[in-house]
Amino acid sequence: MRRPLNAYSLLAAGLLGVEVLIAQGVHDRFIRPYAGDSLVVIFLYCLMQSAGRRPINRVLAGVLLLAYLVEIGQYFHLVARLGLGHSRVARLVLGSAFSWADMLAYTLGALLVLAVERRRAL
């Protein structure tokens, strides 16, 4: 039996579309690097919750940890070390340049999710 789409599924699909549009067409100094990084945390959270409701804090902590690990991988030039420097997809997904500002953007995205989820619980 097929499960109906829930709000998290719809949000994840919409956020994926926004992320693709940002990746393909936005080349500025704010939206792509910072808003895009914040949105990726929100997207991953919605994606995880679309599979079935889980504890907010646990899912959010896992998503934030994943984002931090990807950024740490950038610090250690993981894409190059894996021999994937030629792959545009690998560079896009895993990134290629560490930035503390990206870590802040991930954290702000997680805090936004937390604020919205707490407000919904009222």
Determine, yes or no, domain membership for 78. Answer: yes
pLDDT of residue 93: 82
Residue 35 is part of which domain span? Answer: 7-121
pLDDT of residue 106: 97
Model pLDDT for residues 18-55, shown as the tens digit of each residue: 999 998 888 888 898 889 999 999 999 999 999 988 99
Determine, yes or no, domain membership for 2. Answer: no
Q: How many domains does the chain have?
A: 1
Model pLDDT for residues 53-112, shown as the tens digit of each residue: 899 999 999 999 999 999 999 999 999 999 998 898 888 788 888 999 999 999 999 999
Is the pLDDT confidence value at 3 over 80? Answer: no
Is the pLDDT confidence value at 1 over 80? Answer: no
pLDDT of residue 75: 95
Determine, yes or no, domain membership for 71. Answer: yes
Determine, yes or no, domain membership for 21. Answer: yes
pLDDT of residue 4: 62
pLDDT of residue 27: 87
Q: What is the DSSP string of 40-107?
A: HHHHHHHHHHHTS---HHHHHHHHHHHHHHHHHHHHTTHHHHTT-TT-HHHHHHH-S---HHHHHHHH
In whole angstroms, give the CA distance from residue 35 to residue 117. Answer: 19
Is the pLDDT confidence value at 116 over 80? Answer: yes
